[in-house]
Structures are given as structure tokens and as C-alpha cells.
Chain A
């Protein structure tokens, strides 16, 4: 019985399609077409594909920010809406989206506050997560005083605060410079390996995807379909040295080739 639960995917999409109406042009856009995807518990999965391939749409469907036009999404057997209401979903957006009138501590504690947790408890938990993402000492600081990378750390800590079962990340490091981005990748790998949380991660960068993930899902241009699932068999815990290995280089090449084929089609 326990084995059965462990093997069941945490997030399961079956035949999910999303179409948007564009009233101004009297047309519809197919953002996603017939997507089947199973995400194993405790795994790190990246979605990669050209701009407009529906990667973000897929995340938003899982987070109950968009309803799929057809198909079904299940998170531990529940609908996204009930998983969201049970606070089992964490979401990190490309923008940090911090509340500028709250300190870092109160920003990280926000989801717990919305949940109705007492002040002492939520601040203790937020403090622990601030340590985890490497922001110790900045609890009392306002977001406007943080660098871009630090804001995104706070945003990640906030998404982790309710101990969600699945963490959705929509190009969280897209706006950062390369060096900060490498460092954030390393921190994210560490947080993932320490917490054992399930992550679904959207990115443009194949190197970032391979470095972070257990599975890299390559998507086609619009309408977004899954063209390949690349298994990343690199050892954990990972350090930046992983990127010098032959396997890493080979996986990046495979991913890049798949992406290019998508552009030709």
C-alpha cells in the first residue's frame, strides 16, 4: 500500500489543452495541446521550450490560476483548486512580487499569516526559511533595499513557507545576471536536496535545466506539446563541478538539438 502511494505520481496531467480567446482578432490561440505528464514525488522536473510554447500556461494550470480547456490535472488525487485551498502549492514567479510595505520577515511569513497562523509561530517558521535561503540578517529590511537575487531568495522562502507538496517556479532567475544566476541555481539545488520537495521549473536555459533537474521536458512551439522527456542521470548532491562532466555536456547537447528541431517544425 505504501509502496503504491510512493509510486503514484504527485502531479498528473492527462490530455490537457488550453486555448485562449483573443476577442480583438476574433481568433483563438492554442497554448497547450494534449499534454500528458506525470511528475514523481520528490523529483525536480524542468520544462524547456521556445518563448510562447505554453510552459508558463502549464504551470498556471497546475496552480489553479487557469482552468484547462480540456483534460484533467490531479495533484495527489485532488483537483488543483482543492490542492491550492489546502495550501499544498508553492509558486515562485519571474518577478519577486514582494509587498513593498512589509519587511523581508513579514513577506516570507505572508502565506502563513493568510492561513491564520499566530504571529510567534509564523515568524519562527519564516526565520527558519530565511536561514535556509541564505538571507539571515536581512529579516527587518524592506524589499526595496534588496538586490534582485536577494528578492528572489525571499520569494522562494515565501513559497516554501506553508510546506507545500509541490513547488512551481516560472523562470525565477530569468531577470538575473549570469553569475548571480549560477549562485541561485546552486542554492536551489541545495534547498531541493535538503527539503525533498517536488519541483516543476520553467526555464529558457538548457544548461540550467540539466544542472537542476532529474527530468527535462522539452516542449514544441505553439501549440505547446511535449516532444521529449530527457532523464538526467547525474549524481546528487550536485555542485557546479557537475557542469564539467561529460554526461552534463552530452545531455545539454541532446536538449539543444531537440529544441532546434522544435524551431524548424
Chain B
């Protein structure tokens, strides 16, 4: 009983302290990036490596700034496809996961096929989905949604099932309705699992969008990568690749930011480990 009452959620830290925290967390990766890019640049010049094998960072940057609007537009297309498919697939997955959590029969009947469908390589199914959904962005969104569906279905089911029996007894003794049990207990309890699924989906959705663009597209980063590969314009290909990575990182950071604000109580969010 020696614990002092300290405010939760809001840090009393001053601006100086916040800056210190920022420097501690962002400092090491920034320093590492500067060191790596410098080494990369130096090695390319020192060993006179051909630009189509490994272009130097300055060449990639030059390829980006020569036509920045075009790369950013194509990056935006891929981003919109990834986010739309992510949202649609995650919502549908969450709904099916909820149905599984509540119906043992449904889960027993369908789960094996859901897991089997999940093992289909995306490159194998993408042409079929694109044939079904046509040549526009909607078919890329459909491929992305397909990939985002399974992680959420499985994690939602697991999350809703993993409640504490004694807590359920508390709700029973308190005469809670089925709705209250869901919204005030099982759903909040499932949120850490949901975020595990969402974070997986961030990666999958960028992959899904680009793979779908490989199959057929006239815009998007996958399209840029395919066309620059055919013309061996490797610095521009590298620029597109790095841009796709940046999109994935920003998307991941957004989900992590939402997670931190949604489940600050969860042990995975503690900063002292």
C-alpha cells in the first residue's frame, strides 16, 4: 500500500522533458539512418558500382526530384488502395470473427476453410480477383481486403473468447444484458488482439495493393515498379520501392498511435520495459 496516487494518461512532463523523450526514442534510428546512407553512398562511389545494380542514394533522390509529382501521385493511389482494402477487409473480418466467437457451430464448420483460404498465395489469387472486379482501383482494393480479412477474423474471435470467467460472473451477478456483456466487457477485452490483427494488416495491405498492381494497373507504385523495371530505370524503381516502404511505415505509425490512445491500460503499452 505504498503506491502514491499518480495521474493516469496525462504526463505532467514539461516541454523540455517531452523533447528529451523524443530525442531518446527518435535519436538512435535517425543516427543509424545517417550512418547507413553515408556508408551506402560511399561504397557506391568507392567501388564504382553500376547504378542499375545498386544506385547511390543521391541518384535515387535525383530520380525522385526529377518528377516528384508523378511518384507522389502513384504513391497516393497505392496508399488509397491499401487503406480502403484495409478498412473493408478488417471490418468484414471483425464481423465474421464476432460470429465465430458467438457460434461454436459456425466456427467449427467454417474455420478450417477460412484457414485454408488464408494459405492461398496472394499472387495466385490476385489475377482471379482482378478478373472479377475489373480494371480500376476497386479490384486492387478487393485484393487488399482479401488479405486483411483473415488476421482480423482470427484475432477478433480469439479476443472475444479470451475473457476472464470471474469477470463474466461479476457481470452475471450484476444482471448485465447480453449487449452490456459484449460492449462493456468482451469487446474492450478483445481490443489488444484486434490491434495485433490491424498491425499485421498494415503490412499485408501495402503488399496486397502493390501485388495487385503488378498483375494489372495503369497507375500506382506497383505499376511504376513494373514499368521502370522493363526500361531498367533502376534509380526510379528504387525511389518507388522506398516510397512504398515509407507509406507502410506511416500507416503503421498511425495504427500504433491509435492503439496507444485506445488501450493505454494494456501491459503492452507500458513504457517501462
Contact = CB atoms under 8 A, between A and B. Distances in A.
Interface of A: 63-65, 84-85, 87, 89-91, 93, 95, 97, 99-103, 110-111, 113-115, 137-138, 140-142, 144-147, 149-150, 158, 162, 180
Contacts of A145: 3, 6, 8
Contacts of B174: 87, 110-111, 114-115, 162
Interface in B180-207: 180, 184-185, 188-189, 191
A65 B169 contact: yes
B173 interface: yes
A175 to B, nearest CB: 12
A128 B191 CA distance: 31
Contacts of A102: 265
11 contacts: A64-B172, A64-B173, A93-B170, A99-B185, A99-B188, A101-B263, A115-B175, A138-B5, A141-B5, A142-B8, A150-B3
Nearest to B270: A144
Contact of A84 (B5, B6, B175): B175
A138 B5 CA distance: 6
B175 A85 contact: yes
Contacts of B6: 141, 145
Given A97-B167, A100-B265, A65 B172 contact: yes
Interface size class of B (residues with CB under 8 A): 20 to 34
A113 B170 contact: no
A97 B170 contact: yes
Interface of B: 1, 3, 5-8, 164, 166-167, 169-177, 180, 184-185, 188-189, 191, 263, 265-267
B1 A150 contact: yes
Contact of A97 (B164, B175, B189): B164
A142 B265 contact: yes
Contacts of B180: 114
A114 B1 contact: no
B188 A97 contact: no
Nearest to A139: B5
A163 to B, nearest CB: 13
The 8 closest A-B pairs by CB, nearest first: A97-B166, A137-B5, A111-B174, A91-B173, A101-B265, A114-B176, A97-B167, A114-B174
B184 A149 contact: no
For B1, B8, B176, the residue with the greatest tally of chain A CB atoms inside 10 Å of its CB is B1
B140 to A, nearest CB: 36
Contacts of B171: 114
Nearest to B171: A114
